């Protein structure tokens, strides 16, 4: 985004609300940021499962920098978002919203009223997909909406997966699964990821299909013990393999025959996009927010109802029945979708073309600032 803005005569700076959140394992060094940035002074507190940020200096920073456009991402409930909208200095404020109507966890009257009040403060939104667009249209009718999906570095996944598959040790590593197909899940071990219902679903598979399946779940979280107890009762080979780095995930994607995300509530998960760049067939819950953009049912994977064990078992059975040629075809279709819909350079360029179209003035040092939760 910084490079594409510089080509258009604009400047860019990112303002981070915080360096991490509870139950997250983000690690980074200053050298990771190839653009101007700052971490805002903040207070952090918890309400239920939400980590909220109060970045008290946001109004001063806005007053000092006077950006033309402020792109705000993160939850609408952050006090920082309210502080930013209360400032008169940015000419335009765009809210990046990934939620969809099926991902709303708090539906009480007070929360709904607060949500609508906050979102109504914005006349422009950026969304990652169709379901997120529906959420914005429901809460802020008539708003201008731009397309900006979650993105990953393709070289980390497409390039590394090919490297692992060409390596001399990969064949022997992959061979340990015998004739079973490996289904990979990359998810935090929390209730909303639907892992316990998923295990109930694989229990509905025929004994023959259970013998053909190996499941690997990469991630960590508070649900590990309940999952271990449920796995102990399974006939299927299911293993919790812990938190993994990006390079470790690339190797896991290379070893897998398919990717699954059985979420009960999930706004717009990045792991699905990683799996597409890795060229894997997808098995996705209908509550995964980016399934309309990522899943072509019957061509690169299968959709299921994460609350229905029979639906889960049916999707897995259809995937298990795919021939090696069909698996390869499904994976190629995933990669094709990734290249056409989630190429970072194309997506960012198109987004900026839409947002900056018709801008009245473009001085040499205009600033687009992104306030974001890391």
Domains of the chain: 2-151+343-373 (3.40.50), 154-341 (3.40.50.2000)
Instruction: Compute the distance between CA of residue 209 and CA of residue 319 in angstroms, rounded to an integer.
Output: 10
pLDDT of amino acid 177? 59
Residue 187, φ and ψ in degrees, nearest 5: -165, 150
Instruction: Compute the distance between CA of residue 142 and CA of residue 150 in angstroms, rounded to an integer.
Output: 24
Q: What is the dihedral of CA 281, 285, 290, 296, to 10 degrees?
A: 40
Instruction: Compute the distance between CA of residue 336 and CA of residue 298 in angstroms, rounded to an integer.
Output: 15
pLDDT of amino acid 170? 44
Looking at per-residue confidence, does 87 or 67 come out higher? Answer: 67
Contact 160, 233 (CB under 8 A): no
Check pLDDT > 60 for residue 369: no
Q: Looking at the DSSP assignment, which residues form a beta bridge with residue 126?
A: 96, 146
The model's pLDDT over 244-285, given as tens digits with 9 standing for 90+, comes to: 988 899 899 999 999 999 999 999 999 999 999 999 999 999
Lowest-pLDDT choice from 199-208, 239-248, 276-285: 239-248
Q: Looking at the DSSP assignment, which residues form a beta bridge with residue 184?
A: 216, 259
Residue closest to 327 by CA, chosen among 279, 290, 285: 279
């Amino acid at each position: 985004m910084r490079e594409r803005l510089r080509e258009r005569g604009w400047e860019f700076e990112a303002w981070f609300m915080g360096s991490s959140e509870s139950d997250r394992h983000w690690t980074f060094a200053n050298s990771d940021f190839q653009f101007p940035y700052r971490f805002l002074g903040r207070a952090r507190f918890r309400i239920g499962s939400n980590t909220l940020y109060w970045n008290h200096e946001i109004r001063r920073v806005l007053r000092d920098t006077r950006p033309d456009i402020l792109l705000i991402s993160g939850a609408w409930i952050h006090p920082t978002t309210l502080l930013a909208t209360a400032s008169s200095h940015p000419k335009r404020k765009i809210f990046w919203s990934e939620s969809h109507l099926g991902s709303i966890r708090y539906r009480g009257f007070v929360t709904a009223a607060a949500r609508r009040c906050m979102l109504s403060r914005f006349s422009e939104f950026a969304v990652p997909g169709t379901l997120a667009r529906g959420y914005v249209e429901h809460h802020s009718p008539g708003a201008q909406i731009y397309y900006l999906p979650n993105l990953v570095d393709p070289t980390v996944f497409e390039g590394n997966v090919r490297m692992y598959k060409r390596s001399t040790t990969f064949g022997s590593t992959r061979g340990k699964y015998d004739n079973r197909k490996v289904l990979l899940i990359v998810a935090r071990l929390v209730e909303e990821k639907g892992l316990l219902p998923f295990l109930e679903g694989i229990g509905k598979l025929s004994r023959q299909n259970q013998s053909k399946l190996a499941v690997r779940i990469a991630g960590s979280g508070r649900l590990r013990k309940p999952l271990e107890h449920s796995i102990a009762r399974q006939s299927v080979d299911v293993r919790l393999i812990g938190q993994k780095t990006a390079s470790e995930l690339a190797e896991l994607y290379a070893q897998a025959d398919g990717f699954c995300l059985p979420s009960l509530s999930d706004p717009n998960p990045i792991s699905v996009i990683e799996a597409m760049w890795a060229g894997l067939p997808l098995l996705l819950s209908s509550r995964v927010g980016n399934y309309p953009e990522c899943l072509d049912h019957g061509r690169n994977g299968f959709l299921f109802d994460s609350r229905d064990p029979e639906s889960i078992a049916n999707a897995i059975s259809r995937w298990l029945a795919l021939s090696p040629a069909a698996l390869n075809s499904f994976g190629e279709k995933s990669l094709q979708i990734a290249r056409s819909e989630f190429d970072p350079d194309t997506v960012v360029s198109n987004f900026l073309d839409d947002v900056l179209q018709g801008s009245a003035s473009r001085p040499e040092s205009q600033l687009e600032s992104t306030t974001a939760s890391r």
